[in-house]
């Protein structure tokens, strides 16, 4: 019996066609899976947002300045809480230079103990934007995330033993403080374990959170500046 063998060119074309079909099927399967995963995370954020009250965590804040190609690292403690529709946030930097940043009642206050000075800046009509940026990954609803950003699924990633959803966010308003962000979100608590913000100039801020306390005991004193003496106050 003779085996029929087609022309070599026909064999090669058929083989390549099969490979292309297989790749297309795999790509469509991966796309469907990523869409399902993103939808699941968005739904989980919607469900968990109402349960969010506060979070405390140690943080590492890495700032990269592209012009001089230098990185600066600051560490300290962070506090976030929601009451009604408002968000309060405080960053207490302990190293290398102590300072405090407080966002409360639509005002950003920055305290520098070394010179004993408080600089205050009301956010005014930008309050909604500041709230959205400050709460990114802290009790926000998934639907609100989709309204403000083009959201891209980047997969699951383990951070400190927690399975996080890695999301890329492209700001729909290019005039905002950052053009793009990546967040590593724990959907079960609707909180971020890591955030990275990028600017158009190529600078970025990478913030990592550790020793997280979710919906724990928190006081009004945690959302006040700890000053000494009578600090100079500057309002901008």
Q: Do 185 and 49 meet the contact criterion of CB atoms below 8 Å apart? A: no
> Is there a domain that residue 14 lies in?
no
Is 105 in a helix, a strand, or coil?
coil
> Is there a domain that residue 90 lies in?
yes
Q: What is the pLDDT of residue 19?
A: 55
177: Cα separation from own chain's centroid: 13
Q: How many domains does one find in the chain?
A: 1
Q: Identify the burial level of 107 via C-beta atoms within 10 angstroms of its C-beta, where 0-12 means exposed, 13-18 middle and 19 or more buried.
A: middle
> Is there a domain that residue 22 lies in?
no
State what percent of residues in the chain have pLDDT above 70: 79
- The parent domain of residue 198 ranges over 45-95+130-216
> Is there a domain that residue 3 lies in?
no
Work out the average pLDDT over 117-145: 81
**Contacts by residues 62-68 (CB-CB < 8 Å, ≥ 24 positions apart):** 62/205, 62/206, 62/207, 62/208, 63/203, 63/204, 63/205, 64/203, 64/204, 64/205, 64/206, 65/203, 66/201, 66/202, 66/203, 67/201
pLDDT band at 15 (very low <50, low <70, confident <90, very high): low
State what percent of residues in the chain have pLDDT above 90: 64
Q: What is the pLDDT of residue 235?
A: 93
72: Cα separation from own chain's centroid: 19
Q: Which residue has the higher pLDDT, 130 or 110?
A: 110
Q: What is the pLDDT of residue 32?
A: 42
Q: Which residue has the higher pLDDT, 124 or 100?
A: 100
Q: What is the pLDDT of residue 128?
A: 67
Residue 47 has pLDDT above 70, yes or no: yes
Q: What is the pLDDT of residue 179?
A: 86
> Is there a domain that residue 226 lies in?
no
> Is there a domain that residue 2 lies in?
no
User: Residue 173 is part of a domain; what is its CATH number?
Assistant: 2.50.20.10
pLDDT in tens, 151-195: 999 999 999 999 999 999 998 876 667 889 999 999 999 999 999
């Amino acid at each position: 019996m003779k085996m029929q063998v087609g022309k070599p060119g026909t064999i090669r074309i058929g083989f390549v066609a099969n490979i292309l079909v297989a790749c297309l099927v795999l790509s469509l399967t991966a796309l469907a899976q990523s869409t399902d995963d993103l939808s699941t995370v968005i739904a989980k954020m919607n469900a968990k947002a109402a349960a969010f009250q506060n979070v405390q965590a140690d943080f590492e804040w890495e700032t990269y300045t592209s012009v001089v190609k230098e990185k600066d690292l600051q560490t300290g403690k962070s506090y976030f809480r929601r009451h009604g529709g408002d968000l309060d946030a405080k960053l207490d930097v302990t190293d290398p230079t102590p300072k405090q940043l407080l966002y409360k009642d639509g005002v950003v206050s920055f305290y520098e103990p070394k010179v004993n000075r408080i600089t205050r800046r009301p956010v005014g009509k930008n309050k909604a934007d500041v709230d959205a940026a400050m709460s990114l990954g802290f009790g926000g609803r998934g639907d609100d995330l989709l309204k403000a950003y083009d959201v891209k699924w980047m997969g699951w990633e383990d951070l400190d033993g927690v399975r996080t959803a890695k999301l890329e966010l492209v700001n729909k308003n290019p005039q905002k403080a950052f053009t793009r962000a990546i967040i590593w979100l724990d959907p079960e608590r609707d909180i971020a374990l890591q955030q990275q913000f990028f600017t158009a100039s190529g600078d970025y801020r990478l913030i990592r959170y550790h020793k997280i306390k979710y919906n724990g005991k928190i006081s009004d004193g945690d959302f006040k500046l700890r000053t000494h003496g009578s600090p100079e106050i500057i309002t901008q």
